Amino acid sequence: MIVRRAVAMAVVMMAVTLAGSMTAAPPSQGAPEAHDSHTMATPSTHMATTGTGVVYLMIANAGDDDDELVNAATDRAHDAQVHETVIENEVGRMVPLAGPLVIPAGESVSLAPGGLHIMLLGLTDDIRLGDTFDLTLEFAAAGEVTIPVTAVLDADDAQGQPVNAGALTIDGFWSRPAPMIDGTSATPATMSAP
């Protein structure tokens, strides 16, 4: 009986300690903060309470001039940003790309696992296996284009048709299943379209 009370008290104390250390910073404080000799990220409120997703694709530029991806947006997330995977000390982390994504004339840019990708921040709904949602890409020269992104398990399962915007062709677009993380969502491995 005494052991049970001691264990229960320890669990309660750990929960209180963790709850106090997990408070989110206000949305205006999304940038990293310096603390002595290290840097600690302070996520915005919607990031602390909702999940993240990812979109992969290929952009080919058949034109004579470079173009730039300057914005991405979807109703499935509060924000969509181009991120890159950076390896430091054998640990990969995803960081926002500094500046727009340049698509050089006559070349292709791949957004693929382990490299560049579009990160969906603050999901507004689960992304279930088989779900399709619109992603709007804004390019400096080609303008806006909306592509239908389907959640699949890997690139081999992506079945969308290429979409053209000016001199650009966007192809091979897909997303992975991802939970909104609102306390009631399923895990990505068990999610399927209704």
151-169: pLDDT as tens digits:
999 999 988 899 999 999 9
Return the higher-pLDDT residue of 36 and 139.
139
State the residue for tokens 């709850």. Answer: 19
Tell me the pTM. 0.70
Domains of the chain: 47-186 (2.60.40.1890)
Q: How far is CA 165 from CA 47, 100, 136, in A?
A: 32, 17, 12
Work out the angle at residue 124's Cα, subtended by the Cα atoms of residues 121 and 174, and round it to the nearest 5 degrees.
65
